[in-house]
């Protein structure tokens, strides 16, 4: 990678991720893990490319995520239902995504310091803990971030949206769309990012018509393919008009991190991030051709475009699905500051982010209120293995006595229900 910057970013990513997430190796399973971590057949996998991502899904679930199914099948084939081994996966996912964030920021700004800030911010950001975190089945969110960052890196290497780089980008677009439904918006988001960079920061030439149409054509093809098999609102119902307006108006709360953490901590963090956004606004007005403004435009465009469909079919709580946007915006604001103020701000923001992220991570802990509720829900699954049912039935007592033990029964020894 350019300038050999990635080893430094990788070290920062791994250290930060291990500091926050190493303890999660003993967290156990959570929510969808009980439904998704099961034996998969080749027929199961094949069906996910022409239908919903869970072949055994209950009526009303209409998500098209074939690559997510491939991930789940691979994870269980390699590790069974050994929750300790499975929790190694998030450590890799988070570290890779954080490293790629740093590489993109470095290449886009020309600053290794900014790249290091981006790596650290992604690793400790509360949205990372919420959207990806130590949730095994939910790691497709991390893979989606990797696909988005890969697409940005491909885009960054070129001078315009030309046909000569359409094949590598097509692979990234397919990966994003087939990991999660909102990944379909990656193509339009890239086109809008390019247009804004060409008109606002003017560091890119205007996109060629052929290049833009080819990207949008890939997106349209992916949407049509999905619609052939699952003609629904992506698993969600349409929201009422007021909910749609609320969703659109609240999206900036994720950049402010306003809704996260204990009240005093959340308020402090929101004030600090609001101050940083004010600095960023000044950067966009007075210094729009400098590197922080370019990075900010990219993050803002991704935040709104990739999340736009969810404003109409889902609750605003799902605006975190592409939290890397908030990471880019925060990194842009921090990189706009002058030293030594910059590093003081980075240290303060990183510490506050890590504190709030720790709270978010605790929600996945084996005896948290969320986990206990999901244990009771999992007991209602008709195909739950007898061994897992017996283990779940003892969770309340185990948590009350402080003797929680992770589920590590080999897949081949379990008795599964008939599909």
Sign of CA dihedral 190, 196, 198, 202: negative
The pLDDT value given to residue 406: 82
Q: Alpha-carbon distance 199 to 214, whole Å? A: 21
The whole-model pTM stands at 0.91
The pLDDT value given to residue 71: 95
Helices and strands (H and E) in the chain: how many? 22, 0
- Profile the chain (419 residues) by mean pLDDT over runs of 10 residues: 76 96 90 87 90 76 88 91 90 96 93 94 90 89 94 78 67 93 90 90 81 88 89 73 77 63 71 77 76 87 82 65 83 86 88 89 90 90 86 90 83 69
Q: Domain spans of the chain?
A: 2-362, 369-406
What does the angle CA 261 – CA 265 – CA 266 come to, to the nearest 5 degrees?
55
Q: What are phi and psi of 365, to 5 degrees?
A: -60, 150
The pLDDT value given to residue 254: 63
The pLDDT value given to residue 100: 96
Report the chain's terminal Cα–Cα distance, integer Å. Answer: 47
The pLDDT value given to residue 230: 83
Do residues 297 and 193 lie in contact, with contact meaning Cβ atoms separated by under 8 Å? Answer: yes
- Name the residue among 285, 406, 303, 353 with its Cα closest to residue 20: 353
């Amino acid at each position: 990678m350019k300038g050999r910057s990635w080893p430094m970013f990788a070290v920062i990513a791994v250290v930060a991720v291990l500091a926050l997430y190493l303890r999660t190796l003993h967290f156990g399973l959570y929510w969808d893990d009980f439904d998704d971590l099961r034996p998969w057949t080749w027929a199961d996998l094949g069906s996910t490319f022409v239908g919903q991502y869970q072949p055994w899904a209950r009526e009303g679930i209409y998500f098209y995520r074939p690559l997510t199914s491939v991930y789940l099948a691979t994870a269980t084939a390699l590790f069974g239902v050994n929750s300790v081994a499975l929790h190694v996966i998030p450590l890799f996912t988070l570290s890779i995504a954080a490293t790629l964030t740093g590489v993109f920021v470095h290449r886009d700004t020309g600053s290794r310091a900014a790249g290091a800030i981006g790596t650290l911010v992604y690793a400790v950001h509360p949205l990372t803990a919420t959207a990806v975190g130590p949730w095994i089945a939910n790691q497709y969110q991390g893979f989606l971030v990797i696909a988005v960052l890969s697409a940005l890196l491909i885009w960054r290497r070129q001078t315009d949206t030309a046909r000569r780089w359409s094949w590598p980008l097509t692979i990234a677009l397919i990966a994003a769309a087939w990991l999660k439904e909102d990944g379909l918006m990656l193509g339009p988001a890239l086109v809008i990012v390019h247009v804004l960079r060409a008109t606002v920061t003017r560091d890119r030439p205007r996109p060629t018509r052929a290049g833009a149409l080819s990207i949008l054509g890939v997106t349209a093809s992916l949407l049509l393919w999905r619609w052939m098999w699952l003609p629904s609102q992506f698993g969600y119902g349409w929201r009422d008009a007021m909910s749609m307006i609320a969703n659109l108006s609240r999206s900036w709360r994720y950049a402010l991190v306003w809704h996260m953490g204990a009240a005093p901590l959340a308020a402090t963090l929101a004030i600090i991030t609001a101050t940083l956004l004010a600095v960023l606004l000044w950067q966009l007005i007075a210094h729009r051709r400098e590197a922080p403004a370019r990075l900010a435009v990219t993050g803002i465009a991704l935040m709104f475009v990739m999340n736009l469909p969810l404003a109409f079919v889902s609750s605003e709580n799902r605006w975190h699905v592409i939290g890397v946007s908030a990471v880019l915006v925060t990194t842009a604001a921090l990189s706009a500051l002058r030293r030594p103020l910059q590093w003081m701000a980075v240290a303060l923001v990183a510490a506050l982010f890590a504190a709030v992220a720790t709270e978010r991570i605790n929600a996945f802990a084996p005896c948290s209120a969320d986990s206990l509720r999901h244990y009771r829900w999992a007991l209602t699954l008709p195909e739950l293995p007898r061994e897992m049912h017996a283990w779940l039935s003892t969770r309340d007592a185990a948590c009350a006595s402080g003797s929680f033990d992770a589920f590590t029964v080999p897949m081949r020894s379990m008795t599964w229900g008939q599909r």
